[in-house]
Amino acid sequence: MNHKHSARICVPVCEKDLDALWNTCERAVEWADVIELRLDCLDEIPDNFKEITRPLILTFRPSEEGGHRELTREERRRFWSSAPRGETVWWDVEGDLVHDLTPDWSRVIVSHHDFSGVPKDLEQIYERLAHTPAAVIKIAVQTNDILDCLPIFQLLERARSEGREIIAIAMGNAGIATRVLGPSRGSFLTYGALDDARTTAPGQVNARKLRSLFHLDTIDDETMICGLVGMPVMHSVSPRIHNAAFLEQKLNGVYLPFEVHDVIQFFKRMVHPRTRELNWNLRGLSITAPHKQTVMECLDWIDADAKDIGAVNTVVVEGDRLLGYNTDAAGFIDPLLKRLTTLRDAKVAIIGAGGAARAAIWALQRQNANVTLFARNVPKAQALADLFRISCMSLHEASFAGYDLVINTTPVGSGAYINQSPATREQLSGSRCVYDLIYNPRETLLLREAHKAGCETLGGLEMLVAQAGLQFELWTGRKFSHEFSRMNTDFMY
């Protein structure tokens, strides 16, 4: 299979009618090295196939393997007995049909899909497929946590050592690392959707992002890997900032989102150089909610400021040690000082009591501001207030009139809470400035309410870029252009 890039991207095309199928194929050529025709999506199977300027993979998938049709074994066998063949035509056939067919095996991918999770007999499935005459093995399994990627990466290592061509993919958001890093670790190809509306499997990244955002074609065994650890992380624009910085600084690096439930097990099995089960050039991690405090248990050394704050948002892999820092505090305060010049004796309200609130309170107290904590659950937030010796009040029916600054450190206003605000226009009336640490969307409902209440407003993107710059410097020793990174967040990740 000829390809013009160092990594192959296969763009799957799944359309109900032939006109749409061919139109989509024509658009896919821009990003695809290979085009997969998902023929199980069609209402009617064509008698012939148009000439397309890319190699084709034909797929006729039954519903139990992720297809769009209820297909009997006999229906599938009949289809493949008359399917087109050729030097640029590949067949993707399920493992149960291998012994029923007599194709050109040098153009066959034998596949297994599991949408329920990672099967316990994954190694046996690989061995069974490896004993077929097919040229390429394909195994795709559903992931629910980043740790589910480990057996997929291990399969890639095994196949490479045995000289066997393989496509191994962890589906779902937690499996994105296998889609981006797979080709550099021996995967025959990776799949990329034509656009976000045309994904054909969970967690499938679009082809444009694979190439322009994650720099798929330049990733190799030496690539410096960094990433964002949290749950959830798919809304984050951090990959845009850091991947743009790698490009600007001409560094061989990639920054990935990692969906992590159990941060302690993740650090033990995939991160710490002394215990990890994956050989990769991991250099640094950003830590976000809900792991900023728990991650401290996993580290060999923690910076004094991060200890004071009680939260780590940056991890550096140095030799066989893990070092922890907090860049949130400096990133948080920098845009404020540019806007307000001084915070001495400023009356400040903090909404929320998580890791971001810790960093904000610590930074504000160092600027000699007077801080009050506001929370929906006062008893739960009281411990944080006691730690910093500040007052804690109920957010319900609170009034921020007379405050110089109101800061939202909660996720309310983004993700599942995008249509909500932690405070109303009436509550904000009479305050000078409202600072929302949320950066996606750039204008939250809180900021719109604040504007209507006559307040100055400040969004979270400036903080995100500032703290990301400090992280990048810790990982690489280089400083990136903040303006360049802000420009690269115009198209949200």
Peptide bond into 133 cis (omega under 30): no
| Catalytic residue list contains 380 | no
Number of H-type helices and E-type strands within the chain? 16, 20
Are 58 and 91 in contact by the 8 Å Cβ rule? The answer is yes
Report the 10 Å Cβ neighbour count for 216.
Answer: 26
Amino acid at 357: A
Token duo for residue 423: 């405070």
The one catalytic residue in 16, 50, 268, 292 is 292
Which long-range CB contacts under 8 A does 73-80 form with residues at least 24 apart? 73/97, 73/100, 77/101, 79/39, 79/45
Residue partners of 272: CB distance under 8 A and separation at least 6: 298, 322
Token duo for residue 257: 């989102």
Token duo for residue 226: 């960094």
Which long-range CB contacts under 8 A does 80-84 form with residues at least 24 apart? 83/58, 84/48, 84/49, 84/58
Q: Which residues are catalytic?
A: 292
